[in-house]
Amino acid sequence: MEFQISKYTPGKRPEVALPTHEIYRILGDEGIRELVKDHYDLLAQSEIKNLFPQDAAGLEKAVKNASDFFIQICGGPMYFNKNRGRPMMYKRHLPHKITPEAREVWLDCYRQAIQNQNLTEEVALSFWNYLDAFSKWMVNS
């Protein structure tokens, strides 16, 4: 399975299609939480680790928040809205300097985490395409 990172063009915000809810049916809450945790474990070793909490408690909270978001996006319960309000992800990420290069590292870590899941190509690519487009909205530097 090949996950291509599309080019980021400043000032262009693509439409973002939600991933198929099949991913939630396959992974459920715990599987998505495991996927997100694997992603954060890779980020903690990456060149953009400084963008993420450095203490265990902060990192655990970030993993929970991201997991809640992705569970919701993938068709599961509305944990994120219930616990944090509307996502407003661009606004939430503004305090962090997210460059096009950081976006690519973030995506590369997700590429690795997704490949460790037992997903069909169709389901994996649906989630990947969501991440690829969504991540363009987070670039702010």
| Residue 130, domain member (yes or no) | yes
> Which range among 21-35, 87-101, 114-128 shows the weakest confidence by mean pLDDT?
87-101
| Residue 5, domain member (yes or no) | no
Alpha helix segments (H runs only) across 44-117: 56-73, 79-84, 89-93, 100-115
pLDDT per position as a tens digit, 87-119: 777 677 778 899 999 999 999 999 999 999 999
| Residue 39, domain member (yes or no) | yes
Task: Confirm if 16 and 130 have CB atoms less than 8 A apart.
Answer: yes
| Residue 10, domain member (yes or no) | no
d(CA 63, CA 53): 10
| Residue 62, domain member (yes or no) | yes
Residue 60 has pLDDT above 80, yes or no: yes
| Residue 36, domain member (yes or no) | yes
Residue numbers of the domain that contains 112:
22-138
Question: For the chain, what is the domain count?
Answer: 1
Nearest Cα to 75, choosing from 16, 27, 129, 115?
Answer: 27
Q: In this prediction, what percent of the chain has a pLDDT beyond 90? A: 86
Which 8-state DSSP code applies to residue 49?
G
- Write down the pLDDT at residue 86: 80
Q: Is the pTM of this model over 0.95?
A: no
CATH code of the domain in which 66 resides:
1.10.490.10
| Residue 50, domain member (yes or no) | yes
